[in-house]
Structure 1
């Protein structure tokens, strides 16, 4: 019976490819792919992947004289890490001749061959049944539709007087991963967290025991969003590394629906999904920015966008494209075809403006010429139709990709500086009016008028640093009252006239004046002969780094991850693994902890903390939850969730 179903799916997809009517083709491919994803564990995909590995990879990885990682060593990695290595990492030159589908099958085979790494779950399960009737406490990336990342005194009991009493209560280590990026959600006593190995865990947030768990076919990248529908049903919504959006029942973890949000083969979801009024808004970014660093890559054909889905079914309602489809523009420096326009990825989590019926996003740079007026921009869209309402471009002509890090042929003439708007736009209430607050990798903050014409769009702008491709403002600012809190990630770079200014800054929302600034510094002696290559180029490096030396002193120490603010405190994690809690009024540090250390986790595994990046901290009641570990760009790998509690 199973063989017949598989044959039916293959035939259906084949027919779809041959049909000229695009709607029919799209429907068949979409539903066939969804079935394959849902039943991947029961299909012979691993066997196909093993065949491909034997044919294309075994000559090195099964040969001890080559000193390459063995199959067993590779099987300890998450599928997403394997895909990154083949797509634009160390293995990209060797895997360049393989299609994306073949690379995916190899990764599926390797990552699926170590199921015994989850034997510990049986001992980590909760002994008593859990309450599943509670309402969401923290349900989205921005902790609200305006993306203010603010926790009120009704939601937390941690304040300036007792924050010094925080201590580690329990920890949870995730096998097979080195990056922690999926911000958890909280419903009552349950904490929902995903990892890059594709596992979704439901934990008792007071003890860390496992209430339930399930497995996706690919790594979970986005935050977990809790959507409460108009009929009172709840859904867990998130995206994986294949740009597939899932909606799960939070009580059973059954898949209610799944939907591909890909615009092209390079689409990926890096921001998180926003929910409003029975609709989901999905930001779509791309990894072609990294793939373009390969000399063999034909650059560049992908672009970013936003897709709106019906929350109850996953049906597509509309799609906004950041540029038109790319077309042949000429040749690059190596004589290869060059396509454009491209890029303008949407890295940020969409912001909802109920009053104006609008959605706000930030975009990244173009990857290839011609430049568009939608790159490095704040975009306002109509919630119902996806139509463009207005746009504000902060940096025109910013064309950049990873080839610019190695002098590659795909780097354009006169490249830009990669000044994305990666942090979510904040919708602020101030003095009887509203402002949009946007932070850019250029190190500049903008206050924009959501109304009026483009000539009156900028209310004020404030530069806090010079920024770089890995600097400035990354994943998220936070707003409390009339103060905006801005983390700066600036790494050290050998650039003329560049002075890094990593740290946390408080701005007055009315005019952008700096209320206080707290620079952060490296508190160890770093051996600069061992500094990582710049940004994405480090992912392609074949050089080996001693883990002990890496953790002894981190090259990176700025503030990249999203921050969280309460009535009295600002919570911010550093790229060196340092977790800090600042006094909101003065900027003084009230509590700190080094998370980049070995951890004997409460679930029985040996873990290790690392860089704190991407996801912000979760603060509930007397608890602080921190994800630690992020290995991209030569940062500190790690695989732990740390739960701190006020002990008095």
Structure 2
């Protein structure tokens, strides 16, 4: 979905907010006259009555001051203005709102599509069109249907025009009707592609684990294979194979990221499982981001995150791009990504860090992190060329592979905090000290959230949202409704996690809300099932949705104002993936037997 036409103001005095822009904003986001009128009335009650007048600025081509002395007159004007403007602004904005491909949405623009892991170009995991689910109705969510696949489903389902698309760890990919869960088609990935599993994933069958990407202006669905590192395109209506492209020839290469489609092209990163190897074999893989032509699968450019090691051990390796979906800034022509830790570094860099560790006054920032080491970084790349426009290394020196987890002497010189970015940045606008700022925000496995300026990568704020760990910290996907930034905190190492504002302590996972302008923690809620919270969060209309890895597979709906849990349900198996949201329903899979309990199904819950 395009973010063109998004209305945003930094008003130091909210009582002088442009009424026309306010009406346009709510018309654009709610598509519902009753809601518009109610919200407008409440807005004016709160922000205007204390002054008894409303100014319509000259920027709106109006020179009239409206002086209001009685509430009845004010509400009447509000309703009348909405009646006039909603017809115009809603139709104008609905018509002008474009999809990720630069084309119109489906025929019913009030229905939410969820086009990839992050939902749209912004990677916000925000169902901005949802009106049926709210704080009054969320308690009425009930099971609408269950689709049995027979194995784990850990990807957020994509949604387009009433159809869900998702893979299962059984090696199948499915299309099912959102309304009733009936099968549209299914395909076995091995039979479809002829690809054999690499074995690095621990499976002997070809699987996909990430959210399929909908190409909304073509009959295409893009799927990444979890070893080998292949991207395929299917005919969305039938599931038939259109093309297959090998993105990385490395034997341990995999695709764990969900791609993002924009203007005829797919943007997607590569990852690997090489860090699971022994020190004698590790490592040579280098993470990369690629742009592919959606029609043919031709690689248009490919940008590596580390210097060329020529396939030789003892140099830079790692910096995988493995979580979430790239976010795309159409205005700046940027694509934003974030990278994981490096697996290995050259000997001189390792020696530098050993000297640093033994120094009584270590340098800051760490002098051993060379400029072309783009591990643990947030980056902006040019959409057309793939050139790196800026990159910001965050979290310090970090060399890690499996031997470090086992605490052996073969672990490279540390620190070895394994502070991956397990998600791409999401885009949002906010006001920082009264000035509008365009930000990207991402959360690390370290537990830190980072907000950077989209223009140049300057750090705006950072916040320790919660405890970090080898499995997080934050992983797979934060969310924002532009009012707050939300993240999971897995707390995989069961550290003390101090909740706010209560100051209570949990040693389990939880969820956190932060202010977008400065990162201040507004609330944090413990996972009541006493388990990790490893999956991504999703947000819609004042409700934050999240899952738990406990054996019961609990899922939760929280009030975004205070983190209070308003609804829950036990799916019967660990929930590691996230929820997509559309037209009063949430969709979520269960099961992740690689680390937790096995599952079999995809569930649909709808308000009644």
TM-score > 0.5 by shorter chain:
yes
The alignment status of 1:586 with 2:562, answered yes or no, reads yes
The structure-2 alpha-carbon separation of the partners of 1:425 and 1:409, relative to structure 1 and needing over 3 Å to count, comes to same
For 1:631 and 1:638, locate their aligned partners in 2 and report how far apart those are by CA, in whole Å: 7
Q: Is the 1:300–1:326 Cα contact (8 Å) retained in structure 2?
A: no
How far 1:563 sits from its partner (Å)? 0.9
Matched residue of 1:236: which SS? strand
* Alignment: residue pair count: 447
Which residue of the other structure, out of 200, 215, 220, is the alignment partner of 1:235?
Answer: 220
For 1:260 and 1:161, locate their aligned partners in 2 and report how far apart those are by CA, in whole Å: 48
How far 1:392 sits from its partner (Å)? 0.5
The alignment status of 1:325 with 2:300, answered yes or no, reads no
**Scaled by the length of structure 1, what TM-score is found?**
0.66
For 1:416 and 1:345, locate their aligned partners in 2 and report how far apart those are by CA, in whole Å: 16
Which residue of the other structure, out of 299, 315, 321, is the alignment partner of 2:282?
Answer: 299
Q: Is the 1:134–1:187 Cα contact (8 Å) retained in structure 2?
A: no
Provide the residue aligned with 2:405 in structure 1. Answer: 405
Matched ranges for 1:544-559 at <5 A: 557-559=531-533
Which residue of the other structure, out of 211, 220, 230, is the alignment partner of 1:223?
Answer: 211
The alignment status of 1:287 with 2:289, answered yes or no, reads no
Which residue of the other structure, out of 502, 510, 518, is the alignment partner of 2:509?
Answer: 502
Residues 129-168 of structure 1, C-alpha deviations (whole Å, 9 max, x = no match): xxx998982212111101011112x335111111111111
How far 1:449 sits from its partner (Å)? 1.0
For 2:557 and 2:118, locate their aligned partners in 1 and report how far apart those are by CA, in whole Å: 19
The structure-2 alpha-carbon separation of the partners of 1:161 and 1:502, relative to structure 1 and needing over 3 Å to count, comes to same
For 1:149 and 1:247, locate their aligned partners in 2 and report how far apart those are by CA, in whole Å: 23
For 2:489 and 2:399, locate their aligned partners in 1 and report how far apart those are by CA, in whole Å: 23
The alignment status of 1:311 with 2:294, answered yes or no, reads yes
The alignment status of 1:564 with 2:525, answered yes or no, reads no
The alignment status of 1:362 with 2:338, answered yes or no, reads yes
Provide the residue aligned with 1:477 in structure 2. Answer: 478
Provide the residue aligned with 2:4 in structure 1. Answer: none
Residues 247-270 of structure 1, C-alpha deviations (whole Å, 9 max, x = no match): 111112221211111242211111
Matched ranges for 1:442-481 at <5 A: 442-452=446-456, 457-481=458-482
The structure-2 alpha-carbon separation of the partners of 1:212 and 1:522, relative to structure 1 and needing over 3 Å to count, comes to closer
Matched residue of 2:404: which SS? helix
Q: Is the 2:338–2:425 Cα contact (8 Å) retained in structure 1?
A: yes
Q: Which moved more, 1:349-358 or 1:179-188?
A: 179-188
Matched residue of 2:462: which SS? strand
Provide the residue aligned with 1:611 in structure 2. Answer: 574
Q: CA RMSD in A?
A: 2.3
How far 1:567 sits from its partner (Å)? 1.8
How far 1:522 sits from its partner (Å)? 4.3
Matched residue of 1:282: which SS? strand
Q: Is the 1:301–1:325 Cα contact (8 Å) retained in structure 2?
A: no
For 1:234 and 1:134, locate their aligned partners in 2 and report how far apart those are by CA, in whole Å: 18
For 2:311 and 2:589, locate their aligned partners in 1 and report how far apart those are by CA, in whole Å: 43
Residues 406-430 of structure 1, C-alpha deviations (whole Å, 9 max, x = no match): 2446421334110001122011112
The alignment status of 1:195 with 2:168, answered yes or no, reads yes
Runs of 5+ unmatched residues, structure 2: 1-105, 191-205, 350-369, 499-504
Q: Is the 1:375–1:396 Cα contact (8 Å) retained in structure 2?
A: no
More helix by share: 1
Provide the residue aligned with 2:77 in structure 1. Answer: none
Matched residue of 2:275: which SS? helix
The alignment status of 1:513 with 2:520, answered yes or no, reads yes
Runs of 5+ unmatched residues, structure 1: 1-131, 330-337, 524-556, 598-609
Matched ranges for 1:171-186 at <5 A: 171-175=146-150, 177=151, 179-186=152-159
For 1:323 and 1:481, locate their aligned partners in 2 and report how far apart those are by CA, in whole Å: 33
Which residue of the other structure, out of 597, 620, 635, is the alignment partner of 2:582?
Answer: 620
How far 1:435 sits from its partner (Å)? 0.9
For 1:364 and 1:260, locate their aligned partners in 2 and report how far apart those are by CA, in whole Å: 21
Matched residue of 1:146: which SS? coil
For 1:572 and 1:433, locate their aligned partners in 2 and report how far apart those are by CA, in whole Å: 28
For 1:571 and 1:635, locate their aligned partners in 2 and report how far apart those are by CA, in whole Å: 20
